[in-house]
Structure formats: structure tokens, C-alpha cells
């Protein structure tokens, strides 16, 4: 559906328009541009704006399908940008709701399309309208603002991931439920990969808008797009650092589990040895032979029990010194 359709001229908001009134605005304004915001549009709605703005059919197809890789492509005079948004959820099996924002940017128009996303275009609109000296740069500044707000939305997500990692790191050295801790680490690793898939491709895309052959719409705003690239580099570096620490901690956790299992095995072996020797002696003296030492002695049974006790005491002391008990 149509969220907003507004006309801007000389850095200021002029009026709200109906989709049918866009052509008339273009006819009467030589420098102004329109900003159209759509949410989950159907084929007919996109076809209408595709014909109105002469949008490429491949870009329209990517918008309709959704779940595209973040990218920035040029189709003639139109710059087509795809962004991925992540919204935290309470579902353990699906930590983030993944959405897509498609942006068609031309000199006289910018068309933003949400799919499976709750990204707030109104915040971006209010920000742009408070900066008339920047809004005179036209649709290039609006595109920068949308990308900047999307990129900034990743910072609290990464901070939350870092806090989760720190809590799990403290637990990994405790003796309580090590396997559950490892499962929590794997869930965290899955979240990190989801965020990385949203950020890393966007780094490659926005690099084109701040260096090399810069798109015409971004030429006067390369410093601002370079700032976005810097933010993305910081986010990507933080993700890589957390991922490396997570990998190291997982290896440490697996090693600790192996050590704990080894300690348990040694304790079981020690107790088994302490039980095995008395069992062997009792089995030997339980056989039907008359010539075993002490068989017919009245104190033989007490000596035998004393011998078993002393044997176990000796084994216990030896195992204790060896650290097996």
C-alpha cells in the first residue's frame, strides 16, 4: 500500500500528492522531486510506478521477489539499492525477522519499498526535512539518510550480541551444564552470521558511492557516503572480532568438556580398582579349596576383612595423591 507521496522543492516540503498527481508536479516544477513510500505493494502498484518512473523490469522483479542480497546497481539514470533489515524477535528458533528495503533513486524521484519490514520511514523523513541545506542536494541525500538509518539500526543489535557473548563466556568456565552453554554459543553464532549477511554485502555496495566511479546522484555527497562506509567497516570489524572470540571460546569449552570427562573417567577407574581387588580376594577365598591360607583358622575371616580394608585404604591414598579422587 501507499504510505506517503510527497513533493519537495529547493530543500523544503511542498505538498502531499496522489500518485496520479506526480506527472503534473513534474510538469510544473523543474527542480523538485517526489518521495514515494510503499509497503508490501502488489504487482499492479509496482507496475504503475515502474511505468511512471521508467524503472527497469529486473529491478522491479527483485523488489517483488524480496530476500535479495544487499546491493547497489545502476539501470540507466536510476540507482537501485537493496537493504536488509533485522528486527529482534522473542522466538528462539528465529532470532531476527529479516526484511528488505528496495530503493529506486532518480534525479526527480525516490521510491522506497518495504517488504516484511517495520522500518520507520517517518523518522528519516523528519530528519531530512530538518536539514533543508542538505535536502537541496535532492534524492541523493534522501538515499543517504535511509541507508544511514538502516546501518545505525545494526549498532544496538551488535551491542546486544556482545553482551550475550560476555555472559556466556563467564558461564563456560563453570561446572554447570557445559553442553547447554555450548548450544547457547551455537545459537549466538547463528545470530552473528545473520547480521554479517546483512552488513558485509552492503559494505561492497556502498563502497561504490564513495570512491572510484561514483554514481551521479552521489557525487556531491561522497563524504557522507564515506561516513556510511566507515560505520559499516566498524560494524564488520566488531562482528569479526566477536566471531573469532566465539570460535576460540567454543574450542576452550570443548576442551574443558573433554577434561571434565577425563576427570570423571579417572574417578570411575579409581573406584572400580578399589572394588575390583576386594572382589577378587573374596572370590578366591569363596572357592571350594581346603589348602588356602587361613581357611581353618578361627581368626582367618577377621584377618581377611582387615586385609581388604587396608588394601582399599592403600589404594585410596595412592589415588588421592595422584589426583584421581
Cα–Cα distance measured from residue 122 to residue 277, given in angstroms and rounded to the nearest whole number: 80
Quote the number of domains for the chain. 2
Q: What is the pLDDT of residue 217?
A: 78
- 135 and 11 housed in the same domain: yes
Q: Which domain holds residue 302?
A: 265-322
Model confidence pLDDT, tens digit, residues 76-99:
888 999 999 988 887 766 788 889
Question: What confidence tens digit (pLDDT) does each residue in 57-80 have?
Answer: 999 998 988 788 898 888 888 899
Picking from 152, 182, 201, the residue at the C-terminal end of a domain is 152
pLDDT for residue 316: 79
Four-CA torsion 187, 192, 194, 196, nearest 10 degrees: -170
147 and 11 belong to one structural domain? yes
pLDDT, residue 151, reads: 93
Cα angle 67-72-73, degrees, rounded to a multiple of 5: 105
CATH number where 18 lies: 3.30.460.20
- Taking only Cα atoms into account, the Rg of the chain, rounded to an integer number of angstroms, comes to 35
pLDDT attached to residue 175: 60
- pTM for the complete prediction? 0.77
Q: Which regions in the chain score pLDDT beneath 70?
A: 92-93, 173-179, 209-214, 259, 284-301
Tell me: do 140 and 278 sit in the same domain: no
d(CA 266, CA 190): 36
Q: What pLDDT score does 81 carry?
A: 92
Beta-sheet pairing, 2-9 with 12-16:
antiparallel
* DSSP secondary structure, 29-52, as one string: -SS-EEEEEEES--HHHHHHHHHH
Q: Which of 152, 187, 211 delimits the end of a domain?
A: 152
Under 8 Å between Cβ of 171 and 179: no
* Closest residue by Cα to residue 142 from 158, 118, 126: 126
Amino acid at each position: 500500500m501507499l504510505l506517503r507521496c510527497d513533493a519537495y522543492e529547493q530543500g523544503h516540503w511542498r505538498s502531499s500528492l496522489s500518485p496520479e498527481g506526480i506527472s503534473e508536479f513534474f510538469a510544473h516544477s523543474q527542480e523538485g522531486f517526489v518521495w514515494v513510500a510503499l509497503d508490501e505493494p502488489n504487482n499492479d502498484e509496482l507496475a504503475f510506478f515502474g511505468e511512471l518512473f521508467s524503472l527497469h523490469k529486473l529491478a522491479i522483479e527483485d523488489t517483488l521477489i524480496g530476500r535479495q542480497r544487499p546491493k547497489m546497481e545502476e539501470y540507466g539514470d536510476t540507482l537501485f539499492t537493496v537493504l536488509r533489515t533485522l528486527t529482534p524477535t522473542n522466538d528462539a528458533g528465529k532470532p531476527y525477522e529479516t526484511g528488505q528495503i528496495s530503493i529506486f533513486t532518480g534525479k526527480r524521484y525516490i521510491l522506497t519499498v518495504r517488504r516484511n519490514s517495520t522500518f520507520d520511514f517517518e523518522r528519516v523523513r523528519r530528519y531530512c526535512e530538518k536539514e533543508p541545506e542538505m535536502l537541496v542536494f535532492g534524492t541523493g541525500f534522501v538515499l543517504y539518510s535511509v541507508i544511514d538509518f538502516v546501518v545505525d539500526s545494526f549498532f544496538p543489535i551488535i551491542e546486544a550480541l556482545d553482551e550475550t557473548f560476555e555472559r556466556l563466556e563467564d558461564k563456560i568456565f563453570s561446572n554447570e551444564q557445559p553442553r547447554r552453554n555450548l548450544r547457547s554459543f551455537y545459537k549466538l553464532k547463528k545470530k552473528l552470521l545473520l547480521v554479517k549477511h546483512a552488513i558485509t554485502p552492503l559494505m561492497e555496495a556502498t563502497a561504490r558511492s564513495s570512491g572510484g566511479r561514483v554514481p551521479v546522484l552521489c557525487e556531491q555527497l561522497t563524504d557522507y557516503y564515506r561516513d556510511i562506509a566507515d560505520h559499516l567497516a566498524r560494524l564488520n570489524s566488531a562482528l569479526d572480532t566477536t566471531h573469532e572470540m566465539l570460535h576460540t571460546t567454543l574450542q576452550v569449552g570443548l576442551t574443558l568438556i573433554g577434561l571434565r570427562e577425563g576427570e570423571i573417567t579417572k574417578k570411575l577407574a579409581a573406584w572400580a580398582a578399589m572394588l575390583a581387588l576386594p572382589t577378587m580376594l573374596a572370590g578366591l577365598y569363596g572357592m571350594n579349596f581346603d589348602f588356602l591360607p587361613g581357611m581353618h583358622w578361627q581368626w582367618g575371616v577377621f584377618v581377611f576383612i582387615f586385609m581388604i580394608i587396608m588394601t582399599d585404604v592403600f589404594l585410596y591414598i595412592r589415588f588421592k595423591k595422584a589426583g584421581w579422587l
